[in-house]
Each structure stands twice: as C-alpha cells, then as structure tokens.
Amino acid sequence: MSESSSPAQSQSPLRSLQEILHNRILQKKGEIHESHNRVYNDNIWREIETLQWVLAQILTLRRRGI
C-alpha cells in the first residue's frame, strides 16, 4: 500500500516545530532577571530574537501551504 502525503501531514512537522520554538521562547524569557549580568541577559535576548525570527519563517511557510 502506498502512502500519499496530505497537506495536513506535511504541516504536522511545522506545527510541532512551532510549538517547540514557542515553548523555548517562553523558557528563555523566564531565564532573564534584572539581577543577572547585563551581558548574560543580552545574550538571552539575542537567542529569543533568533527563535522569534525562525518562528515567523515557519508561520510564513504554513500560510503559503508549504
């Protein structure tokens, strides 16, 4: 029996990745605290911004139906 790839199946990995990234962003935001070293907090913000950019790319792909 051959398996055909439906649009829902092809989007499933993107949805999973989207959830992972969203949870990771929340986790990173929880690591920021005003008592931490500024360089440490700046590095965490850079990671958050990068994760948000990747998440935006995933949302774009999902809107296009890829």
Residue-wise pLDDT for 10-62, tens only, equals: 557 888 999 999 999 999 999 999 999 999 999 999 999 999 999 999 999 88
What single-letter amino acid sits at 24? R
Comparing CA positions, the residue from 25, 63, 20 lying closest to residue 45 is 25
pLDDT score of 2: 42
Q: What is the pLDDT of residue 1?
A: 41
Token output for 9: 């199946």
Angstrom distance (rounded) from CA 16 to CA 45: 23
Tell me whether residue 53 is in a domain.
yes
Q: What share of the chain is helix, strand, coil (3-state, %, to 5)?
A: 80, 0, 20
pTM score: 0.74
The number of domains in the chain is 1
Q: What is the pLDDT of residue 9?
A: 52
Q: Which domain holds residue 51?
A: 11-64
Which among 15, 20, 28 is positioned nearest to 59, based on CA atoms? 15
